[in-house]
């Protein structure tokens, strides 16, 4: 990547720790990884950036806004002690653990200021990924440790500020990141009151999750053998985003989604002669629609293409576990289709059916086969994946200065995924984050728009 002048001036790199704990705290300081977590040990962190529009001057921001954000972060961390710790793999441990050591550990928070164009950065048009990278926190791992969370807050004087994070997916999945952010925002809004309601309180009991298939051993062996026998390295993969890629945001309104759904059902009846009796969610419609547009825009040659995505299993386990279970509780689904079928006239209908069937396959409650090696063996140009979920309701993250102007999942630049989230307008629509090479952006934008005009 060519160097661009850095538009960000770092004011301070601080470390924010939870307040000293009470001795009878029910919040654990150490957690073993389980098989759901082990999948993610070497993956790059998940990163998002939130832009908030406010008119604070630098002085007001540093004197009043920043202290509130820092103090509430510390108060929130007392419910999430491990987030201030590290992922490690002690020599005498069969598997990696996450651990917080009081007095030693804290979350790294970078405070910065920038004169870059706030409105451009937080817009919906295609922007260069490298422009946005300056506003994301560093996340440095080594063979022996990796942080669980790092943060950056950047002020754009008189325009707004951004809060960005990087989190280690081996420690927590998107649902818990969202829970953490909502709690942090709510404690920040309320001031001193740092209590959480039961619906907000993370649940730490890992013994409820059974591993009937001995998936843990499979993952541990996979990790140990990645770089020579018995190598306990925790270094995250340095997946470099392709150069010249751009990040854009698209919206599907409620009405768009309903229209696509109607068209899909008609095509199932008329062309495919079957109408599967399955629930078709907005998630499925949006995923199918975007997948088809991407396959067309990238001019993928004939042959198999794949769509991988995660499904939250908290409510699907037997018996179900609380929705606030801290950690990972997602299973991967992989859908295969022929690119020629997807670019055909009823491509979206074909994609919807395939995605629905993959989700239906989970009905039996069992956690599915480990698909890691299959995922890793697929040609990355033919694999599409989905990050995020509208259920995280990230636009409801209000620290006291209003809803975000923009929420962006930036880590899709490395995985080539597209992201899904709720909409800024909160009207039941969806926002979709897309990364594409520069020369593919126009084709995608026009395919996306023209597909919505068909009735
Ligand atoms: C966690 O990592 C930080 C940063 O490298 C380090 O200062 C701290 O001592 C580590 N904690 C443990 C328990 O290793
Ligand atoms: C373990 O793997 C890492 C790369 O992840 C490598 O840097 C390191 O040298 C390896 N250690 C041994 C003992 O082979």
- Quick: pLDDT tens for 24-43: 578 999 999 999 999 899 99
Q: Is the CB of 29 under 6 A from ligand 1?
A: no
Instruction: Name the closest-CA residue to atom 9, ligand 2.
Output: 227
Residues 219, 250 within the same domain: no
Residues 158, 272 within the same domain: no
The answer to whether residue 237 is domain-embedded is no
Ligand 1 atom closest to Cα of 108? 4
The answer to whether residue 403 is domain-embedded is yes
Residues 58, 110 within the same domain: yes
Instruction: Report the largest interatomic distance among the alpha carbons of the chain, rounded to a whole angstrom.
Output: 67
Active-site residues: which are they?
A: 169, 398
Q: Are the C-beta atoms of residues 74 and 18 closer than 8 Å to each other?
A: yes
- Distance from residue 229's CA to the centre of ligand 2 (Å): 10
Q: Give the mutation target among 29, 98, 105 for probing the ligand 1 site: most ligand atoms within 8 A of CB.
A: 105
DSSP string, 84-151: GSEEE--TT-SS-EEE--TTT--EEEEEEEE-S-HHHHTSSS-EEHHHHHTTS------SSEEESEEE
Cα dist. 55→2, 63, 158, 386 in Å? 33, 14, 4, 35
DSSP string, 291-313: HHHHHHHTTPPSSEEEEEEEEE-
- If you average pLDDT over every residue of the chain, what do you get? 92
**265 SS3 class:** helix
Token pair 């629930």 is at which residue?
A: 279
The answer to whether residue 179 is domain-embedded is yes
- Quick: pLDDT tens for 198-226: 999 999 999 999 887 788 998 999 999 98
Q: Are the C-beta atoms of residues 350 and 337 closer than 8 Å to each other?
A: yes
What pLDDT is stored for residue 324 in this prediction?
97
What pLDDT is stored for residue 1 in this prediction?
46
More confident residue, 368 or 335: 335
Ligand nearest to the CA of 105: 1
- Distance from residue 378's CA to the centre of ligand 2 (Å): 25
What mean pLDDT is predicted for residues 337-362?
A: 92
Residue 303: pLDDT band (50, 70, 90) is very high
Q: What are the residues whose beta carbons fall under 8 Å from the beta carbon of 449, sequence distance 6 or more?
A: none
- Quick: pLDDT tens for 122-149: 999 999 999 999 999 999 999 999 999 9
Ligand 2 atom closest to Cα of 232? 1
Nearest one of 313, 285, 69 to 173, comparing CA atoms: 313
Nearest one of 25, 322, 76 to 203, comparing CA atoms: 322
- Quick: pLDDT tens for 237-248: 988 888 889 999
The answer to whether residue 239 is domain-embedded is no
Q: Are the C-beta atoms of residues 244 and 436 closer than 8 Å to each other?
A: no
Ligand 2 atom closest to Cα of 42? 5
Residues 175, 41 within the same domain: yes
Summary count for the chain: helices (H), strands (E): 14, 17
Q: Give the mutation target among 88, 145, 234 for probing the ligand 1 site: most ligand atoms within 8 A of CB.
A: 145
Cα separation of 86 and 77, whole Å?
A: 14
> Taking the chain, what is the end-to-end CA distance rounded to the nearest angstrom?
43
Q: Does the bond joining 319 to the residue before it have cis omega, within 30 degrees of 0?
A: yes
Instruction: Name the closest-CA residue to atom 9, ligand 1.
Output: 104
Ligand nearest to the CA of 101: 1
Domain count, the chain: 2
Token pair 């601080």 is at which residue?
A: 14
What pLDDT is stored for residue 369 in this prediction?
55
More confident residue, 3 or 272: 272
**In the beta sheet, which residues pair with residue 114?**
8
What pLDDT is stored for residue 287 in this prediction?
97
Cα separation of 121 and 132, whole Å?
A: 7
What mean pLDDT is predicted for residues 440-453?
A: 95
Ligand 1 atom closest to Cα of 101? 13
What pLDDT is stored for residue 364 in this prediction?
56
More confident residue, 267 or 22: 267
Q: Are the C-beta atoms of residues 129 and 245 closer than 8 Å to each other?
A: yes
Residues 205, 268 within the same domain: no
Q: Give the mutation target among 87, 146, 231 for probing the ligand 2 site: most ligand atoms within 8 A of CB.
A: 231
What pLDDT is stored for residue 368 in this prediction?
56
Residues 283, 342 within the same domain: yes
User: What DSSP state is assigned to residue 394?
Assistant: G
- Distance from residue 327's CA to the centre of ligand 2 (Å): 27
Residues 17, 141 within the same domain: yes
Residues 292, 340 within the same domain: yes
Radius of gyration of the chain (CA): 22
The answer to whether residue 53 is domain-embedded is yes
- Distance from residue 29's CA to the centre of ligand 1 (Å): 14
DSSP string, 135-171: TS------SSEEESEEEEEEEETTTEEEEEEEE-TTT
Q: Are the C-beta atoms of residues 82 and 171 closer than 8 Å to each other?
A: yes
Residues 197, 124 within the same domain: yes
Ligand nearest to the CA of 232: 2
The answer to whether residue 231 is domain-embedded is no
Residue 405: Cβ within 10 Å count:
19
Cα dist. 266→35, 269, 332 in Å? 42, 5, 30
- Quick: pLDDT tens for 138-188: 999 999 999 999 999 999 999 999 999 999 999 999 999 999 999 999 999
Ligand nearest to the CA of 15: 1
What pLDDT is stored for residue 404 in this prediction?
98
Residues 261, 151 within the same domain: no
Q: Look up the CATH number of the domain holding residue 406.
A: 3.30.559.10
Residues 297, 217 within the same domain: no
Q: Are the C-beta atoms of residues 108 and 77 closer than 8 Å to each other?
A: no
The answer to whether residue 340 is domain-embedded is yes
Q: Is the CB of 13 under 6 A from ligand 1?
A: no
- Distance from residue 32's CA to the centre of ligand 2 (Å): 22
Residues 64, 212 within the same domain: yes
Instruction: Name the closest-CA residue to atom 7, ligand 2.
Output: 143
- Quick: pLDDT tens for 351-402: 999 999 888 877 655 555 546 667 778 888 899 999 999 999 999 999 999 9
Residue 305: pLDDT band (50, 70, 90) is very high
For helices 254-270 and 438-453, give the axis angle rounded to 10 degrees.
70
- Distance from residue 448's CA to the centre of ligand 1 (Å): 46
Percent of the chain with pLDDT over 90: 78
Q: Calculate the CA dihedral of residues 375, 378, 381, 384 and round it to 10 degrees.
A: -30
Q: Are the C-beta atoms of residues 224 and 108 closer than 8 Å to each other?
A: no
Residue 455: pLDDT band (50, 70, 90) is low
The answer to whether residue 232 is domain-embedded is no
- Distance from residue 403's CA to the centre of ligand 1 (Å): 34
Cα dist. 423→166, 193, 396 in Å? 22, 29, 10
Ligand 1 atom closest to Cα of 88? 14
Residue 339: pLDDT band (50, 70, 90) is very high
What pLDDT is stored for residue 204 in this prediction?
96
Q: Which domain holds residue 39?
A: 8-224
What pLDDT is stored for residue 158 in this prediction?
97
Pocket, ligand 2, Cβ cutoff 6 A? 143, 227-228, 231, 233, 235
Nearest one of 439, 450, 389 to 417, comparing CA atoms: 389
């Amino acid at each position: 990547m060519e160097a661009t002048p850095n538009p960000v001036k770092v004011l301070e790199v601080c470390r924010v720790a939870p307040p000293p704990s009470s001795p009878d705290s029910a919040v654990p300081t150490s957690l073993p990884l389980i098989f759901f977590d082990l999948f993610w040990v070497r993956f790059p962190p998940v990163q998002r950036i939130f832009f908030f529009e406010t008119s604070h001057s630098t002085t007001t921001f540093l004197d009043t806004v920043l202290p509130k954000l820092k103090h509430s972060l510390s108060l929130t961390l007392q419910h999430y002690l491990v987030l201030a710790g590290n992922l490690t793999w002690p020599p005498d441990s069969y598997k990696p653990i996450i651990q917080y050591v009081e007095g030693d550990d804290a979350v790294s928070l970078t405070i910065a200021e920038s004169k870059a164009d706030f409105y451009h950065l937080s817009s919906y048009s295609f922007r260069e990924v490298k422009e946005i990278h300056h506003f994301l926190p560093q996340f440095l791992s080594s063979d022996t440790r990796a942080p669980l969370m790092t943060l950056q807050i950047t002020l754009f004087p008189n325009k707004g500020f951004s809060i960005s994070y990087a989190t280690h997916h081996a420690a927590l999945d998107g649902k818990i990141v969202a829970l953490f952010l909502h709690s942090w925002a709510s404690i920040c809004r309320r001031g001193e009151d740092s209590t959480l309601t039961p619906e907000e309180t993370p649940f730490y009991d890992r013994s409820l999750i059974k591993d009937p298939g001995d998936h843990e051993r499979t993952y541990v062996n996979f990790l140990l053998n990645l770089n020579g026998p018995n190598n306990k390295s925790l270094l995250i993969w340095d997946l470099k985003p392709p150069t010249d890629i751009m990040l854009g945001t698209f919206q599907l309104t409620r009405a768009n989604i309903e229209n696509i759904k109607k068209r899909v059902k008609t095509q199932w009846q008329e062309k495919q002669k079957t109408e599967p009796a399955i629930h078709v969610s907005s998630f499925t419609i949006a995923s199918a629609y975007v997948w088809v547009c991407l396959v067309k825009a990238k001019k993928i040659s004939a042959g198999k293409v794949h769509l991988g995505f995660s499904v939250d299993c908290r409510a699907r386990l037997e018996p179900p576990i609380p929705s606030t279970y801290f950690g990972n509780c997602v299973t991967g689904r992989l859908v295969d289709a022929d690119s020629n079928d997807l670019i055909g006239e009823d491509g979206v209908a074909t994609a919807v059916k395939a995605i629905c069937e993959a989700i239906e396959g989970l009905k039996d409650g069992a956690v599915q086969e480990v698909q890691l090696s299959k995922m890793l063996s697929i040609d990355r140009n033919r694999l599409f994946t989905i990050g995020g979920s509208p259920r995280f309701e990230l636009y409801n993250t209000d620290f006291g200065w209003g809803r975000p102007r923009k929420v962006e999942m930036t880590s899709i630049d490395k995985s080539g995924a597209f992201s899904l989230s709720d909409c800024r307008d909160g009207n039941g629509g969806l926002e979709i984050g897309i990364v594409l090479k520069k020369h593919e952006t126009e084709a995608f934008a026009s395919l996306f728009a023209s597909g919505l005009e068909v009735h």
